[in-house]
């Protein structure tokens, strides 16, 4: 989402870091460029004005003039002011007697139903017993969509035909109390635009259920319109937090930077993809790092940990170092990498020079390559993956036909695999010495 803004800012900062000292004129010129970059990224003008003024005031002060590397100090100031603009992280309010009620509200098309399921999955993984409530009888297939998602994440969905959403919510709350549920997520109805009927219905549900949280799901790809949507809901119901959906999109991303400053409503979650794991707790420092091209190593580690199996990892490490690593182990690792999310998203979380190098990789080609590899491995029998040496010409033709590839692709994968095996054996024998010989 922030790719264009990140490139613009990096270009500006590169000019600053090349200078030994910074004059007030240098800072002013850089801040003019920063102002233009933020406005073009669709950041609200009042937020840009305040942000640039704060950075400039600090950048022409003693903390920069006395710094060993003034350019890097300006980047540090920009990062700190951006974190301040993004607003502090706030946890869900899950205090008081259970069940805790969380209402999710938003316009149609914002991704509200999907975000409800994502949040339910995340809370269930934290040990909570969750009930989702299908309180949108108006949108075609909305109830069926939530039920399908509920089955996928193993979370129960409460629904009842023939009654209005406020009364449905009352029945759901009574059911949750009797059933020992800890959290009730109410997926409310959306509209194509803000209207009184929608707000009156939400107010009725709020009055009946007394929710701990009312989370507004906002499509981050609608730009500054997201601010007007947030203000409209905030004025009608007691919005306590925001979920910014579609943060993996290709919009300019200014809403994410502006929304806290303009509305005063904290961001609590970011929807970062289509998968039901693609939701993360909002952290302004991590988001700022992504915007400034510093990557998000913490986020990358968390993605890896979410698919990490310690016992399996130890077994694979031992097999690799003993030279017994097979294509079956390779297939297992490939499945784990896929669970982490799209290649483009993972590459975007790499910091510094790694991130710059990753930009040279075509994500579409990388995804295509992974799919080809997966198809070839899936077309092999378990015996063939465990013992690739048995792959003769006829077996390779069968694998190529089954995977929709050709024998050359199969041979290429086998060659890469054997090179990996060779490298592991070298590491085992030399303790890592002489690895450079493999790449000559």
pLDDT score at 353 = 45
pLDDT score at 119 = 95
Convert 299-334 to b/e letters by CB count within 10 Å (16 or more is b): bbeebeeeeeeeeeeeebeeebeeeebbbbbbbbee
* Whether pLDDT at 227 is above 70: yes
Q: Which pLDDT band, with edges at 50, 70 and 90, does 297 fall under?
A: very low
Q: Which pLDDT band, with edges at 50, 70 and 90, does 436 fall under?
A: very low
For residue 390, give both structure tokens.
């048995």
Q: Which pLDDT band, with edges at 50, 70 and 90, does 212 fall under?
A: very high
Contacts of 295 (CB under 8 A, 6+ apart): 289, 348, 349, 350, 351, 352, 354, 355
DSSP 177-239: HHHT-SEEEEEE---SS--HHHHHHHHHHHHHH--SEEEEEEEGGGTTHHHHHHHHHHHHS--
Strands of 229-296 (E only): list them: 241-245, 267-271, 279-281
d(CA 331, CA 320): 14
* 303-439 has CATH 1.10.260.30 classification: yes
C-beta of residue 233 within 8 angstroms of C-beta of residue 239 = yes
d(CA 281, CA 279): 7
Among the ranges given (213-217, 277-281, 427-431), the one the predictor scored with the smallest mean pLDDT = 427-431
* Whether pLDDT at 174 is above 90: yes
Q: Which residue has the higher pLDDT, 393 or 347?
A: 393
pLDDT score at 66 = 67
By CB neighbour count within 10 A (0-12 exposed, 13-18 middle, 19+ buried), where does 352 fall?
Answer: exposed
Q: Which residues pair with 244 in a beta bridge?
A: 218, 270
Q: Which residue has the higher pLDDT, 434 or 329?
A: 329
DSSP state of 156: E
* Whether pLDDT at 437 is above 60: no
pLDDT per position as a tens digit, 186-208 = 999 987 777 788 889 999 999 99
Q: Which pLDDT band, with edges at 50, 70 and 90, does 433 fall under?
A: very low
pLDDT score at 251 = 59
pLDDT score at 216 = 92
Segments of the chain assigned to CATH 1.20.120.140: 3-86
By CB neighbour count within 10 A (0-12 exposed, 13-18 middle, 19+ buried), where does 430 fall?
Answer: exposed
Q: Which fold has domain 3-86?
A: 1.20.120
d(CA 376, CA 417): 13
Q: Which fold has domain 100-292?
A: Rossmann fold (3.40.50)
pLDDT, the chain, mean: 81
Q: How many CA atoms lie within 13 A of 3 on its CB side?
A: 14
Q: How many CA atoms lie within 13 A of 4 on its CB side?
A: 14
* Whether pLDDT at 211 is above 90: yes
Segments of the chain assigned to CATH 3.40.50.300: 100-292
Q: Which residue has the higher pLDDT, 34 or 341?
A: 34
Convert 385-399 to b/e letters by CB count within 10 Å (16 or more is b): beebeebeeeebebb
* Whether pLDDT at 432 is above 60: no
For residue 78, give both structure tokens.
């920009």
d(CA 136, CA 107): 12
pLDDT score at 154 = 94
pLDDT score at 354 = 43
User: Nearest Cα to 117, choosing from 101, 133, 97?
Assistant: 133
Q: What is the mean pLDDT of residues 175-195?
A: 90
DSSP 319-367: HHHTT---HHHHHHHHHHHHHT--HHHHHTT--HHHHHHHTTS-HHHHH
* Whether pLDDT at 306 is above 60: no
Q: Which residue has the higher pLDDT, 194 or 81?
A: 81
Q: Which pLDDT band, with edges at 50, 70 and 90, does 304 fall under?
A: low
pLDDT score at 65 = 65
Q: Which pLDDT band, with edges at 50, 70 and 90, does 324 fall under?
A: low
Segments of the chain assigned to CATH 1.10.260.30: 303-439
Instruction: State the helix-helix crossing angle for 284-291 and 70-86, rounded to 10 degrees.
Output: 130
Contacts of 226 (CB under 8 A, 6+ apart): 218, 219, 220, 244, 255, 259
C-beta of residue 22 within 8 angstroms of C-beta of residue 64 = yes
* Whether pLDDT at 209 is above 60: yes
pLDDT score at 431 = 52
Highest mean pLDDT among 71-75, 343-347, 357-361, 399-403: 399-403
d(CA 175, CA 181): 9
Q: Which residue has the higher pLDDT, 310 or 281?
A: 281
């Amino acid at each position: 989402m922030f790719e264009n803004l990140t490139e613009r800012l990096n270009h500006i900062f590169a000019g600053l870091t090349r200078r030994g000292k910074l004059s007030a004129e240098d800072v002013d010129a850089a801040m003019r460029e920063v102002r233009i970059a933020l406005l073009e990224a669709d950041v609200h003008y009042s937020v840009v004005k305040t942000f640039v003024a704060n950075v400039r005031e600090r950048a022409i002060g003693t903390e920069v003039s006395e710094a060993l590397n003034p350019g890097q100090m300006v980047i540090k100031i920009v990062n700190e002011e951006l974190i301040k603009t993004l607003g502090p992280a706030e946890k869900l309010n899950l205090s008081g007697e259970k069940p805790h009620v969380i209402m999710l509200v938003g316009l149609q098309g914002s991704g509200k139903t999907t975000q409800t399921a994502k949040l339910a999955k995340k809370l269930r993984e934290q040990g909570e017993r969750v009930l989702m409530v299908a309180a949108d009888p108006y949108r075609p297939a909305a109830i069926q969509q939530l039920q399908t998602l509920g089955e996928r994440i193993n979370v129960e969905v409460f629904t009842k035909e023939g009654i209005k959403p406020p009364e449905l919510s009352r029945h759901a709350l009574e059911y949750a109390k009797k059933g020992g549920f800890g959290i009730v997520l109410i997926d409310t109805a959306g509209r194509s635009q803000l209207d009184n009927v929608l707000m009156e219905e939400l107010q009725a549900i709020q009055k009946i259920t007394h929710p701990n949280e009312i989370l507004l799901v906002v499509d981050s790809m609608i730009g500054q319109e997201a601010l007007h949507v947030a203000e409209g809901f905030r004025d009608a119901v007691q919005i306590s937090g925001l979920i910014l959906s579609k943060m993996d999109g290709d919009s300019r991303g200014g809403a994410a930077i502006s929304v806290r400053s303009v509305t005063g409503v904290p961001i609590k979650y970011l929807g970062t993809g289509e998968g039901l794991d693609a939701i993360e707790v909002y952290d302004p420092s991590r988001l700022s790092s992504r915007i400034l091209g510093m990557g998000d190593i913490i986020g990358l580690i968390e993605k890896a940990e979410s698919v990490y199996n310690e016992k399996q990892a130890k077994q694979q490490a031992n097999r690799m170092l003993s030279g017994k690593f097979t294509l079956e182990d390779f297939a297992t690792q490939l499945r784990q990498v896929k669970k982490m999310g799209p290649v483009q998203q993972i590459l975007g979380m790499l910091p510094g020079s790694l991130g710059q190098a990753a930009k040279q990789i075509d994500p579409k080609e990388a995804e295509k390559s992974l799919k080809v590899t997966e198809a070839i491995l899936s077309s092999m029998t378990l015996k063939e993956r465990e013992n690739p040496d048995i792959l003769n010409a006829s077996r390779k033709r069968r694998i190529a036909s089954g995977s929709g590839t050709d024998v050359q692709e199969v041979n290429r994968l086998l060659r890469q695999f054997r090179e990996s095996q060779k490298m592991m054996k070298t590491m085992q024998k030399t303790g890592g010495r002489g690895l450079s010989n493999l790449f000559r």
